Amino acid sequence: MTTPRISFEFFPPQTLDASFRLWETVQMLAPLKPSFVSVTYGAGGTTRKLTHEAVGAIGRNYGLNVAAHLTCVDATKAETLEIAEAYAAAGVTEIVALRGDAPKGAERFTAHPEGFASSVELVEALAKTGKFKLRVGAYPEPHPDAGFAGADVEHLKRKVDAGATSAITQFFFNVDTYFRFRDACVAAGIDVPIIPGILPIISWDGAKKFAARCGAHVPGALDEAFRVAARDGREDLLALTHCTTLCARLIEGGVEDLHFYTLNRPHLTQAVVRALGITPEVALEKVA
């Protein structure tokens, strides 16, 4: 089996305990030498300052290539581009450009009157600066706001045409979901890497809640398997087996990159990556 390139997603801490979890996560996963790591925005852009601080600290202290998330939510075009300039000044060369989730309490995304109306507009503006490699999101299953079959492929094509150089998918539970989407993208003329987003299942109830929010289909057989595993105390083993098998099948199907949504809980991600044949690089200390 070919060894894939890997990347990780972190989110910025909002409490002291969360801060300890983030740095434990980075310390555990950095030795696996990811090709990049990304740092999210909170819903509604609520962690803008924290994201910027986390991006800078991870880059400085761990020497990792950090892709900073940037969204269109609750900001003018000028404010959004100012944030991008601050990233550039901090040495960031990659941005994950997203529309973003609706602010807390709102049912749907509504563009700021003076802001970017979509991720396509954001990508186009960032591409004009010439300062960043631009990654975008992709939905292998219909986005909750998708208006028609094939809308997600069409929207991704527009983002690529606007300047995106790769896409990271929302997570999925069935490997065929990814392959169908990849084939549809190729048929539509999309020629950038489409990196599968992988969610190691730390909590099955939590994973199902995430799935309901983003439109990911939950297979009945997997739901039943986790119900039985919970009864027998084997949830961790099932989570490891499911995620490792999913990744192995993706690699067998020609996938070269995997992006892990760590949720700042590193142990399962680390175990999956090691099961795929990727081992930490340990620096040798000088000896007398």
Helix, strand or coil, per DSSP, at residue 70: strand
Q: CA 26, 27, 29, 34 torsion: positive or negative? A: positive
Any catalytic annotation for residue 252? no
Q: How many angstroms separate the CA atoms of 8 and 26, rounded? A: 9
User: How is residue 74 written in tokens?
Assistant: 């609750």
Could you give the CA distance from residue 151 to residue 247 in angstroms, rounded to a whole number? 26
Give the separation between CA 64 and CA 70, rounded to whole angstroms.
18
CA-CA distance, 44 to 102, in Å (whole number)? 6
Residues 247, 263: Cα–Cα separation, whole Å: 18
Q: Give the start-end residues of each E strand in the chain.
A: 5-10, 36-39, 66-71, 94-98, 133-138, 166-169, 194-195, 197-198, 257-261
Question: Which is the catalytic residue, given 9, 124, 141, 235?
Answer: 9
Measure the CA angle with vertex 29, ends 24 and 35; round to 5°. 140
Query: Any idea which residues carry the catalytic annotation?
Result: 9
